[in-house]
Amino acid sequence: MLHLKSEPGYDSKPLTAPMSFVHTMRWFNWNKRTHWDAYVRLKGEFERLGVTKDTKVVSIPDDSFNISLFLMDRKGWTNFIWIDGEEKMNKVLANGAAFLVIADESWLEKDFMQPYLQEPLGKFEHLHLFRLRPQL
């Protein structure tokens, strides 16, 4: 049995469901709490760093069209455009990208990413933050 809550302020409602559904829902809730919720909390850190809502951000390795950007309340690019080399990174820089958010530490080891990791701003939960500068 699961207890479903539709929104704050409302009581939860019991739901009897097959165990496979219960396990799936637990995984989705765990994934949301451990991965996606950090992007929502990052909004406050951005404000502290002076990153305005108009500042464009690159968020990788989010392969969705804009989930992480939506949760951060920022505009920019995700790995939906398949950032796989300097050419694509330079293109987003030319289009105004000013900050980089990396959620997967394996991206910190990629050779083509090294020029863009020169100005670390720190780590917020599991998210690594960098200021981007146009490459000369």
Are 133 and 98 in contact by the 8 Å Cβ rule? The answer is no
pTM, to two decimals? 0.78
pLDDT for res 134: 73
- Structure-model confidence comparison of residues 114 and 1, the more confident one: 114
Burial degree of 43 (CB within 10 A; 0-12, 13-18, 19+): middle
**What are residue 28's phi and psi, to 5 degrees?**
-60, -40
Q: Report H helices in 78-123.
A: 86-94
Q: What is the pLDDT of residue 77?
A: 96
Tell which residue, 121, 123, 124, 136, has the closest CA to residue 50. 121
Mean of the pLDDT values across residues 6-35? 68
The 10s digit of each residue's pLDDT in 72-101 is 999 999 999 889 999 999 999 999 999 999
The mean pLDDT of the chain is 86
Q: How far apart are CA 128 and CA 106, in angstroms?
A: 11
For the segment 45-79, what is each residue's pLDDT rounded down to a tens digit?
998 888 899 999 999 999 898 999 999 999 999 99
